[in-house]
Amino acid sequence: MVMGLMIGDLYDHPDKATLNLRGVHMLTGASAAIAVVFVHSIAITYFVGTSRWIKEVSETYRLDPTPLVRCTLIKRKTFPWCVVGMLTVVVVGALGAASDPGTGRPDTASMASVHFMGVYAGLAVVCWTYFRVWLNIGQNQVVIEQIIEMVQAIRRERGLDEEPNLEETPELTKQ
From the CB of residue 143, how many other CB atoms can be counted at a distance below 10 Å?
Answer: 21
Judge whether 41 lies within some domain.
Answer: yes
- Are residues 89 and 80 in contact, defined by beta-carbon separation less than 8 angstroms? no
pLDDT tens for each residue of 109-156: 899 999 999 999 999 999 999 999 999 999 999 999 999 999 999 999
From the CB of residue 99, how many other CB atoms can be counted at a distance below 10 Å?
Answer: 23
Judge whether 97 lies within some domain.
Answer: yes
Judge whether 48 lies within some domain.
Answer: yes
Judge whether 119 lies within some domain.
Answer: yes
- Determine the 3-state secondary structure of 54 from DSSP: helix
In the chain, the number of structural domains is: 1
- Are residues 14 and 112 in contact, defined by beta-carbon separation less than 8 angstroms? no
Judge whether 135 lies within some domain.
Answer: yes
Query: In whole numbers, what is the pLDDT of the chain averaged over residues?
Result: 91
The domain in which residue 52 lies consists of: 34-161
165 — pLDDT class (breaks 50, 70, 90): low
| Residues 143, 77: Cα–Cα separation, whole Å | 15
Judge whether 14 lies within some domain.
Answer: no
The Cβ-side half-sphere exposure at 29, using a 13 Å CA radius, reads: 27
Judge whether 3 lies within some domain.
Answer: no
pLDDT tens for each residue of 35-67: 999 999 999 999 999 999 999 999 999 999 999
Judge whether 1 lies within some domain.
Answer: no
pTM of the model: 0.83
- Are residues 39 and 88 in contact, defined by beta-carbon separation less than 8 angstroms? no
